[in-house]
Chain A
Amino acid sequence: MNATHSNPRPAPVSSVLAVTAAVAVLLALAGEGTGVGTWLAVELAGLGAVTLGAVAYRTGYRIVGLPVALVGGVVCAVAIGGFGSQSGPLSELLRLLPGFLGLAVLAAALVPVRGDGSRSLVKLGTGGLFACVVLAGLFRTADVTLLLGTAVGTIVAWDAGEHAIGVGEQLGRRATTWRLEATHAVGTALVGVASVAVVHFARGFANDGLSLASFAMVFVAVVLLTVALRW
């Protein structure tokens, strides 16, 4: 298929969806206090300015667009730095910082700041979010539902970001694609919800006192199962 066309940038609907999912994951993981919401709002404002600036720059308003985007970038940096340097429990800061960085990277990949959208940056950004999820599991700050829910949210964010780039490559930003994007995102989210429900259902049968050894066995079984699935 002919992939050369005028505007191969990530599709807007999925891009917005990806960033929204990422923000929701961060907010859900933050829990109470430590001003996460405030700094997140500042970061989002910065990202909004970067987006506006980039769009203005590309539509010909270079003199306005460039400074707006730069200011937005600075605001983002301030938000991340501000969150990281505030006083509070170190574990709280440590486990959310990758998410703050990841959100900025994800947004930068989808705006896109440079080029036509980068799949690697989407992976990197959602990878930061996923690190937050894993850290929440390590620090035991999340229960099963929250942990699985935020993991699904991260997957949805990645999927929407990747899909936005794929649709952008084939159809471009100006094509009408919201229906296709919505269908795809709903599919991914439904699968996530279903799998969380299945885990819940299964845990209702299992007893809590499972030894680590048996967990290790389960893990090996899971690995074998996936190997069997792939080949």
Chain B
Amino acid sequence: MSDARRTHRWRGILVLTLGAAGVGLLAKRPLLLLLSTLGVVYAVYPRLSSVSEPRLDVERRVSEENPQAGTAVDVTTTVRNVGDRPIFDLRVVDGVPPALAVTEGTPRFGTALRPGERASFSYTMEAKRGRHRFEAATAIARDPSGGHEVEVEVETETEVDCTTDVGEAPLRSQTLDVTGQNPADSGGSGTEFHQTRSYRRGDPVGRVDWNRYARTGELTTIEFREEQTASVVVVVDATPGAYRGREGEPHAVVAAVGAAQQLAETVLDGQNHLGLSVFGRDDLWLPPSSGRRHRLRVQELLATHSAFEARPPASETTVDVEAQVETLLARLSDNTQLLVVSPLLGDDVVEAVQRLEAERHRVTVISPDVTVSDTDAGGRALATIERDSRLRRLRQSDVTAVDWETSEPLSATLRRRTGVVHG
């Protein structure tokens, strides 16, 4: 909570009326002296009225919770005074998701509310690809005189989910052409016949080849092909350098998190294990796993974890990607694949990917393109060239790198790339 702060807005009145009274004194006009009474009264006024922290209940209604990208979404926010004192002067600014733009109306509203009373306001915003969470609404209450004000934040969970299935994650073919089932050369339990071998103590009774025993009296054990589920870790690049974007579009981290959400769904749909990590200001490690609860956990982390926050970090924030890669390597088990989503706006991520690949983890990079290829844009054009060279370097070190033009759905890009990935 924040304490009431004083605005001192009535100070001038007192000075002015006292000045008038002084003039009255000099000019022997008793009437003018009376003006100072007004000054005193208005100086006392903010003292007598006070403001306590408003107790508010904010409710949001969204016209469409799963909109198509580019469609208009109407938001109606209702504010209710759940305290037992009237709020004479209430200003509310709704916490519109940072990546979304308000196209009609305004997410700001001012009113006065009696206890229990409610008031609502609406505005329209344009949906963009990704999962967008509303931030806390900011409310400022003032006393009737405006002499004190209190600011509070009111949190209400609201989400706009504008993600579509990507269809197929661009996983490296060696492991994942057959989604989720990686036929291994070692025998074990499974469904596909692999070989028979002589019985060893401790083999399950169910796997003993009884037919053969009846025929030959020899105890043998049937082995099936063991099926391994691929383990994939999605790593999002949320380093400070990635918080850049084209004019009027969300920055690359928003795009990357949106892509990660879609990729995670797809990987999990394919019966694979999925983990989550990040290069960014906060550490995040979710070990690969599967299941419904794990799926929810992944989406929740992507939507709420501080490392993915849409608000750019403070300018002095630095992230030691190299150290984060070493930490990640220590956590990864062998054969874990990596899906790195990065706009490739810095060399550190390229080096990180090369390091991971060198440690025999198969890495696929999906790179949302936020650079401007417009030739007369000078500096930005340079960023495009640098990014192209990074993509080339990655491909030279045998990393699959998918260049994703963010204006097009990720699924379309991947479908087009599939031939390359699996071919």
Q: Which residue in A6, A130, A176, A195 is a CB contact (below 8 Å) of B121?
A: A176
Contact B145 A180 (CB under 8 A): no
Contact B37 A175 (CB under 8 A): no
Can you give 22 A-B contacts (C-beta < 8 A)? A1-B93, A1-B151, A137-B20, A138-B23, A138-B24, A138-B32, A140-B31, A151-B38, A167-B110, A170-B108, A174-B105, A174-B108, A175-B106, A177-B110, A179-B112, A183-B89, A198-B37, A199-B34, A212-B25, A226-B14, A229-B43, A229-B44
B88 within 8 A of A: yes
Which residues of B sit under 8 angstroms from A158, Cβ to Cβ? Answer: 12-13
Contact B38 A183 (CB under 8 A): no
B36 within 8 A of A: yes
A172 within 8 A of B: yes
Contact A130 B34 (CB under 8 A): no
Contact A222 B41 (CB under 8 A): no
Residue of A nearest to B20 (CB): A134
Give the contact-size bracket for chain A.
Answer: 35 or more
A63 within 8 A of B: no
Contact B146 A171 (CB under 8 A): no
Contact A219 B36 (CB under 8 A): yes
B243 within 8 A of A: no
Contact B111 A1 (CB under 8 A): no
What count of chain B residues pass the 8 Å CB interface test? Answer: 54
Residue of B nearest to A230 (CB): B43
Residue of B nearest to A171 (CB): B108
Nearest CB of B to A200, in Å: 10
On whether A180 and B35 interact (CB within 8 A), knowing A1-B151, A187-B144, A212-B28, the answer reads no
Within 8 A of B (CB), among A128-184: 130, 133-134, 137-138, 140, 142, 144, 147-148, 151-152, 155, 158-159, 162-163, 166-167, 170-172, 174-177, 179-184
B205 within 8 A of A: no
Q: Which residue in B20, B28, B35, B42 is a CB contact (below 8 Å) of A191?
A: B42
Contact B109 A151 (CB under 8 A): no
Which residues of A sit under 8 angstroms from B119, Cβ to Cβ? Answer: 179
Contact B91 A170 (CB under 8 A): yes
On whether A5 and B138 interact (CB within 8 A), knowing A127-B16, A176-B121, A226-B18, the answer reads no
Which residues of A sit under 8 angstroms from B39, Cβ to Cβ? Answer: 226
A218 within 8 A of B: yes
Nearest CB of A to B7, in Å: 8
Which residues of B sit under 8 angstroms from A90, Cβ to Cβ? Answer: none
Contact B110 A175 (CB under 8 A): yes
Nearest CB of A to B30, in Å: 5
Which residues of B sit under 8 angstroms from A140, Cβ to Cβ? Answer: 29, 31
A interface residue numbers (CB < 8 A to B): 1-2, 5-7, 11, 123, 127, 130, 133-134, 137-138, 140, 142, 144, 147-148, 151-152, 155, 158-159, 162-163, 166-167, 170-172, 174-177, 179-184, 187-188, 191-192, 194-195, 198-199, 210, 212, 215-216, 218-219, 222-223, 225-226, 229-230
On whether A179 and B110 interact (CB within 8 A), knowing A171-B91, A195-B37, A212-B30, the answer reads yes
B47 within 8 A of A: yes
Contact B112 A223 (CB under 8 A): no
Binary flags per residue of B92-134, CB closer than 8 Å to A gives 1, else 0: 0100000000000110111110000001010000000000000
Contact A123 B12 (CB under 8 A): yes
B61 within 8 A of A: no
Nearest CB of A to B46, in Å: 10
On whether A166 and B146 interact (CB within 8 A), knowing A148-B38, A184-B88, the answer reads yes
Contact B23 A134 (CB under 8 A): yes
- Please, how many angstroms separate the alpha-carbon atoms of A146 and B106 in the complex? 42
On whether A148 and B34 interact (CB within 8 A), knowing A170-B93, A180-B91, the answer reads yes
Contact A195 B41 (CB under 8 A): yes
B278 within 8 A of A: no
Which residues of A sit under 8 angstroms from B328, Cβ to Cβ? Answer: none
Which residues of A sit under 8 angstroms from B314, Cβ to Cβ? Answer: none
Nearest CB of B to A158, in Å: 7
Which residues of B sit under 8 angstroms from A210, Cβ to Cβ? Answer: 30
